[in-house]
Amino acid sequence: MSLSLLVEQLLNGVQFGLMLFLMAAGLTLVFGVMGLINLAHGSLYMIGAFVCAVVAGWLGSFWLGLVAGLAAAAAAGAIIEVVVIRRLYARDHLDQVLATFALILILSEGVRIIFGPFPLYLSVPDLLNGTVSLGIVDYSLYRLALIGVGLLTALGLWLLIARTRLGIRIRAGESDREMIAALGVNIRALYTVVFALGAALAGMAGALVGAIQSVQVGMGEPVLILAFVVIVIGGIGSIKGAMVGALLVGVIDTMGRFLLPRAFGLFLDPSQAMDVGAALASMLIYILMALVLILRPRGLFPANG
């Protein structure tokens, strides 16, 4: 095993983690501010990917597709919040789970009807095609750009939450929604904006990842599960926690899948080593989540901790 291959996989883990952050940040905002369990968040990721792929195919521009995917996910999120989610805030979590699970089925079938049942493929833009030398390793320029986008988005989101009037209202909504409503803040409009923001982040993640994997119906559900793991590890409602948790999950999952089969290959035959290593690698992030829940039940960086 060469050092360059190890560094490449580590960078892949960071890239995967930052894309998870885009999903988890919106999810943790919605749960932290509204107290809502939104299982349909992965469907917004899927919508962003499909709209990006279709628009990029029609217009021949990945960048216009990316803007369209982000806008479509944000618009879908705002419509879903106004039409469905708004009626669930006062209901218990079981009702929220059932309603948003129903949204998964509706949105999946809707996407299948509109875009067709077959996977779509989104090409990497010419500007970001190829590799770049990092000294130790030649790494994909597009994946490196994804790392940059993830970091810039994290910085922008932190500035929004910590330095703007909207951010003050979002943080106040996490702490005491009745009080800010009494002070004259339109709590319904605030909830719609937060939900649309989370949807836009999910749609952007889907559109960006769509260029390195196929765009297909149901692609958001596996990522949604990982996003929930991220916010449990990081702390519900915490952007900092979502960032740390996403990087931990991305790196541990990627490096586990890379290193464990090789480690077991030292004393097992290759096929057994691959099977055992892959099985254990898929468990690592859940073991990490269990350890965090035992040691810090509210997560590593809880919003009000």
Strands 138-140 and 131-133, by their bridges, are: antiparallel
Burial class for 280, CB neighbours closer than 10 Å (0-12, 13-18, 19+): middle
Q: What is the DSSP letter of 28?
A: H
Distance CA 103, CA 106 (A): 5
- The dihedral region occupied by 133, where left means phi > 0, alpha psi between -120 and 50, and beta the remainder, is beta
pLDDT per residue of the chain (305 residues) written in tens, 0 to 9: 677 888 889 999 999 999 999 988 888 888 777 777 888 889 999 999 999 999 999 998 899 999 999 999 999 999 999 998 888 877 887 888 898 999 999 999 999 999 888 888 888 888 888 888 888 888 889 999 999 999 999 898 888 888 888 777 777 766 666 676 676 777 788 888 888 998 999 999 999 999 998 899 988 888 889 998 999 998 887 888 889 999 999 999 999 888 888 887 777 777 887 888 888 888 999 999 999 999 998 888 887 65
Q: What is the predicted pLDDT for the residue at 71?
A: 95
Instruction: Return the bridge partners of 131, or none.
Output: 140
Look at residue 305 and give its three-state secondary structure.
Answer: coil
Q: Contact 226/249 with Cβ under 8 angstroms?
A: yes
The two most distant CA atoms of the chain are separated, in Å, by 68
Nearest 5 degrees, angle CA 155-CA 235-CA 17? 50
Q: How far apart are CA 305 and CA 115, in angstroms?
A: 44
Contact 238, 302 (CB under 8 A): yes
Q: What is the DSSP letter of 301?
A: S
> Dihedral, CA atoms, 21, 282, 277, 3, nearest 10 degrees?
0
Q: Which amino acid is at 274?
A: M
> For 60, left (φ over 0), alpha (ψ -120 to 50), or beta?
left
- Residue bearing tokens 């991220």: 230
Using only C-alpha atoms, the chain has a radius of gyration, in whole angstroms, of 20
For residue 238, the model assigns a pLDDT of 81
Q: Which residue has the tokens 């990490």?
A: 288
What is the DSSP track for 97-155?
HHHHHHHHHHHHHHHHHHH-SS-B--PPPGGG-SEEE-SS-EEEHHHHHHHHHHHHHHH
Q: Could you tell me which of 120, 107, 300 has the C-alpha nearest to residue 221?
A: 107
How far is 38 from 90, CA to CA, in rounded Å?
14
Distance CA 72, CA 65 (A): 10
